[in-house]
Amino acid sequence: MTIKANPERALRDLYHLRSIGTYKTGVHRPTLSEDDLITRHWLVGELKAIGHEAWIDGIGNVISKTPATGNKLLAGSHLETQSHAGWLDGALGVVYALEAARAVVEAGRKDIGVEVFAFADEEGHFGSFTGSRSLTGELTEADIDQRADRTTGRPLRQAIADAGLSGVPRHRVDPARYIGMLEAHIEQGDWLESQKLQVGVVTSIVAIWQYKIVFEGVQNHAGTTRMAIRKDAGVALRRFCQRVEERFPQVCGERSVWTVGKIDLEPGAPSIIPGRASMTLQFRDADMATLLRLEQTVGELVDEANAAGPCTVSWETMNKNKPALMDEGIQAALEAAGGVYAPGKHARMPSGAGHDAQMMAQLMPAGMMFIPSIGGISHHWTEDTSDADIMLGAQVYADAVGRLLAR
């Protein structure tokens, strides 16, 4: 079955969303802010206009249902943005899903349908994947009581009340209802652009493994303590970072990435030798064997540092999840659609960023499609993609949807 999108209409929708909470050439729409809610109500209106039942659930997710009794696909992404960030991160996947839902209706197919979701708080203003975790049943009422906006401190409970959503039931996804879940997103990296490609077929979403590494030394006077007798925890930390940069390239995978994102020196004063230092070390990869190899290397470097002295080093795991594998059938449908509209300009690739699709992959077959990000820039207001790439992507997405629903 061939489903044809109206790419100009999808582009118009994206420009409309860009006009809500505009910040320079990007947008500022934190979760459950006034502007964020305007976009959620807008989406509900657009879905009702094509005959869907649509509403905002008790955590802020936009949910839609079609009367279709045949194959149904769950599709969408998120509407809120990082603070002062880009106009496409999230909105793109929602608009592609909406456009595909319209295209199925316009094709006269009432037996099948695309049910569009806008997952609340993918960007984690109130934690991580708040909306998706609610849909999977993972998010408890106690979690909601504990969460607050990381910027303003407004409690999540209060934000829900302010949005008029107190007492509204939280939706749970019934996996049996769907043949699968599809999410489109900008790549947020520069790989597609660097390869002169227009469509990425996502094979997996990387796992994120993160550790806290602590160095214990002796705090002392920075002027009177001879170099030879110092136990400087800051020096031990810097050496460790250096060893990571030497060793990781020898054991990593082709697309592994690693980051020391936070360093603390205690007490943290110019004239005091740090007695204690700590750092986070995070790495990401889609391959379990590679993740295990990197983890083993961290352990070896800790042992090495302890053996060398004079400071002691310990490490603990902060976060370890599994790579989310994308469904082979959905990848094949995206590839076939790419073959029609972007011949020779599509390729399979992993996702280096986390997405709602990884949460839905716990419940049902899930897939993702990427379009290029200019200069690989994202989580910044200059984030952009050419109109041509946006419109082409809408067509590829709708075509893949048609293939999946026709099964």
90 part of the interface to Zn ion, by CB under 5 A = yes
389 part of the interface to Zn ion, by CB under 5 A = no
121 part of the interface to Zn ion, by CB under 5 A = no
Closest CA to 221 of 171, 273, 258: 273
In this complex, which beta carbon is closest to Zn ion, that of residue 290 or of residue 373? 373
In this complex, which beta carbon is closest to Zn ion, that of residue 66 or of residue 188? 188
In this complex, which beta carbon is closest to Zn ion, that of residue 99 or of residue 121? 121
Six-digit token pair at 346? 């599509």
Task: Provide, rounded to whole angstroms, the least separation between the CB of residue 306 and Zn ion.
Answer: 40
Task: Provide, rounded to whole angstroms, the least separation between the CB of residue 81 and Zn ion.
Answer: 8
89 part of the interface to Zn ion, by CB under 5 A = yes
Binding range to Zn ion, per CB under 5 A, among 86-94, 107-115, 295-303, 367-375: 86-94
Query: Where do runs of H (alpha helix) occur along 52-170?
Result: 91-106, 130-136, 141-146, 156-162
Q: Is it true that the peptide bond before 310 is cis, omega within 30 degrees of 0?
A: yes
In this complex, which beta carbon is closest to Zn ion, that of residue 90 or of residue 372? 90
Task: Provide, rounded to whole angstroms, the least separation between the CB of residue 185 and Zn ion.
Answer: 6
Task: Provide, rounded to whole angstroms, the least separation between the CB of residue 26 and Zn ion.
Answer: 13
CA torsion through residues 351, 95, 371, 75, sign: positive
Binding range to Zn ion, per CB under 5 A, among 79-87, 88-96, 256-264, 299-307: 88-96
Binding range to Zn ion, per CB under 5 A, among 56-64, 89-97, 223-231, 250-258: 89-97
Segment 205-224, which members bind Zn ion (CB under 5 A)?
none
Binding range to Zn ion, per CB under 5 A, among 84-92, 102-110, 204-212, 281-289: 84-92
In this complex, which beta carbon is closest to Zn ion, that of residue 4 or of residue 150? 150
Q: Which residues of 44-80 are buried (b: 16+ CB within 10 A; e: fewer)?
A: bebbeebebebbbbbbbbbbbbbebeebbbbbbbbbb
Closest CA to 202 of 216, 219, 185: 185
Compute the distance between CA of residue 147 and CA of residue 126 in angstroms, rounded to an integer. Answer: 6
Compute the distance between CA of residue 90 and CA of residue 28 in angstroms, rounded to an integer. Answer: 12
299 Cα distance to chain centroid? 28
- The contact set with Zn ion (CB under 5 A) reads 89-90
